[in-house]
Amino acid sequence: MLDKKYLLLTCFFAIASFTVFAQESQQTAPGAAGTSTATATAANPQWSNRDMTYRGKNYDVLDSAYYPKFRAKQFKKYIDHQEIFPPKPRNKWEIGAGIGLYNLIGNVPTLMLWQKGGGGLSVNVRKSLGYIFSLRAQYIYGVAKNLDRQPTTSYDGPYTQFGYVPRNNVNAAFPVPNSVFRASRMESSQLSLDLMFNAYNINFHHARNSVSFFGYLGIGAVGYKTRMNALDGKFAQYAFDTMGKGSTYKAIRKSLQKKMDKSYETAADNGGGSRILDNKTLDFAPSIGAGVQYKINKKFNIQLEERYTFVADAYLDGSRYGKPLGNTVAPGRKSDAISYFSFSVNYNLNTKKKSVEPLYWINPLDHAYSELSYPRHMILPNPVLPDEDGDGITDQFDKCPHTPAGLAVDAHGCPLDTDGDGVPDYKDKQLITPTECQPVDADGVGHCPCPDGCKDINTDKKCGNIGAGTILFPEKSGKISTQIEVQLSTLAAQMQGNPNCKVVILGGGSGSKIKEQHSWEHVNAVIEFMSDKKNISRDRFIFKYGQDGDENIVTFRAANVDESGNSNVPPPHPEIK
């Protein structure tokens, strides 16, 4: 049976482990209340300083360096939006070493470490199979000591009847003592392969944890050798009649340990079977266990763990019999077990190739949550901007929200007013009123005499009858929409009324090849529409692209008298589609 103190200690560590819960502090996204963009960037390395893109707390899913070559196909499909799941990243191996309490659960009570019992050392290597399961190989070297709590007395026959050695020791000179306290020392080497599982890293409310709880099932083998403390192993035996005095187990134990030597010189009975490593008995040894890990940083963690190993052998403590029952003994355990309670330090091995922490530390929801809040890869629909009067200027920026249909408007959504007299062109009976003749009446007519020769002024030279306007293309589209057609139809009518005037088509979009190419495509789409659909000669347009501003916005205006430029311009970056 296990010592009560050992059970209490195990319970204490189990309770302490489950009460230790450390969630790493969450980081605030730029723009959150009370956090400036600059502060958030400096405090949170997962934010890119260049474009403030959220990279995730664990690793950048869009970085191909994290994936092995055999997962490159899946990564390409994910990037091309042919696959919704990113591939599993390359993750590190974990190695560790530990020390602990190594105790034998058999027919003879175990001695704990503080009772001058045994202990164990272990080394292990672990590799994650996924976010829940991992494999671990562990080697344990252990020494366990056992000592009877009460003597075996009043029996008939040799010591072997009770599994006590040495054998053949009945001699007239050395009669069988009235009582025997069995004392054994087992030395073992244990190798196990464990299938470990944990789900504590899958967290819906935090990016990652500092604590991980795990359990496992193991298969392996134990090679053991047990020896008894029987004085000299030949004829001389301890005088047990004068030993083991005391009213409590503690007193009995101390009395025995004081008078016994520490030789463990006599080979004990064993269960037979194969031999290995210094004539150790080899047995199959399945095991179960559980533990808790606490992460110090991304490289180191500490661990508490309890492993129970079930050995199909009743001779690990040197005896297959239980406690005495009068002149006989109890049948005893059919098989012994090993308990190893350990403390370990683990380290994540660095590799030459880019890799993440072991996956049992990483929250697989991190990428999904970051993509929902700060999308980089998500396919988003083109925004639909409201434009109630259909003049091409969204309601958010339209200063004249109820412009009659078909009228040419300026960049603010208001009807054009060429001479700036406050009367829009479609109501202005005097389209160009000299400044000195303003203010004007309700029809836009000024009140000043016409200077000599003013009637001979050819206003077509100034092209004042052609208004300016702004065209807004949908995001990532060069299609001429119905709203744009209305604007261009008005422009075509004005150009037909002023056949000697040219029009400058300007596209915004500078700073990158993609923006310049989009700008060119938008300007070209306008000119081709005017040429193909409205029969306006292409030579009457001046082609300009890559100007300051949004690449989705195209503006037009009448060309100045001395202004010239090409109407056919080759695309700047034809390789970009």
Residue 530 reports pLDDT greater than 60: yes
Residue 1 reports pLDDT greater than 70: no
Average pLDDT over residues 68-97: 93
pLDDT digits (tens, 9 = 90+) for 483-508: 888 889 888 888 888 888 999 999 98
Q: Are residues 413 and 350 in the same domain?
A: no
Domain assignment present for 78 = no
Spatial separation of the C-alpha atoms in residues 292 and 290, rounded to whole Å:
7
Domain assignment present for 72 = no
Residue range(s) defining the domain that contains residue 471: 381-577
Max avg pLDDT among 244-258, 359-373, 374-388, 455-469: 359-373
Task: Please tell me the predicted confidence (pLDDT) of residue 459.
Answer: 45
Q: In the structure encoding, which two tokens stand for residue 429, read together?
A: 């009976």
Q: Are residues 343 and 395 in the same domain?
A: no
- State the pLDDT confidence band at 342, using cuts at 50, 70 and 90: very high
Q: Are residues 249 and 391 in the same domain?
A: no
Spatial separation of the C-alpha atoms in residues 499 and 195, rounded to whole Å:
84
Spatial separation of the C-alpha atoms in residues 168 and 244, rounded to whole Å:
24
pLDDT digits (tens, 9 = 90+) for 150-186: 776 544 444 444 445 444 444 444 455 556 788 889 9
pLDDT digits (tens, 9 = 90+) for 383-439: 778 888 888 888 888 888 888 888 888 888 888 887 777 888 888 877 777 766 777
Instruction: Provide the β-strand partners of residue 465.
Output: none
Q: Are residues 164 and 210 in the same domain?
A: yes
Mean pLDDT for all residues in the chain: 79
Laid out side by side, the sheet with 553-558 consists of 469-472, 553-558, 503-508, 541-547
Contact between 410 and 488 under an 8 Å Cβ cutoff? The reply is: no
Q: Are residues 294 and 351 in the same domain?
A: yes
Tell me the CATH number at 205: 2.40.160.20
Residue 78 reports pLDDT greater than 80: yes
Number of domains in the chain: 2
- State the pLDDT confidence band at 236, using cuts at 50, 70 and 90: low
Q: Are residues 407 and 323 in the same domain?
A: no
Q: In the structure encoding, which two tokens stand for residue 97, read together?
A: 């070493």
Spatial separation of the C-alpha atoms in residues 56 and 572, rounded to whole Å:
36
Q: Which residue has the higher pLDDT, 419 or 193?
A: 193
Task: Please tell me the predicted confidence (pLDDT) of residue 443.
Answer: 76
Residue 123's nearest CA partner among 142, 137, 102 is 137
Spatial separation of the C-alpha atoms in residues 184 and 188, rounded to whole Å:
13
Domain assignment present for 325 = yes
129, amino acid identity: L
Tell me the percentage of the chain whose pLDDT exceeds 90: 31
Q: Are residues 117 and 239 in the same domain?
A: yes
Q: In the structure encoding, which two tokens stand for residue 70, read together?
A: 């055999």
Listing DSSP states for 18-53 in one string gives HH---BPPPPPPTTSTT--HHHHHHH-TTB-TTT--
Greatest C-alpha distance within the chain = 158
Domain assignment present for 228 = yes
Tell me the CATH number at 493: 3.30.1330.60
Domain assignment present for 306 = yes
Task: Please tell me the predicted confidence (pLDDT) of residue 176.
Answer: 52
Q: Are residues 119 and 245 in the same domain?
A: yes
Tell me the percentage of the chain whose pLDDT exceeds 70: 78
Q: Which residue has the higher pLDDT, 547 or 454?
A: 547
Task: Please tell me the predicted confidence (pLDDT) of residue 462.
Answer: 59
Q: Are residues 333 and 437 in the same domain?
A: no
Q: Are residues 321 and 185 in the same domain?
A: yes
pLDDT digits (tens, 9 = 90+) for 349-370: 988 889 999 999 999 998 888 8
Side-chain-facing half-sphere of 313: CA atoms under 13 Å: 26
Average pLDDT over residues 344-348: 97
- State the pLDDT confidence band at 376, using cuts at 50, 70 and 90: confident
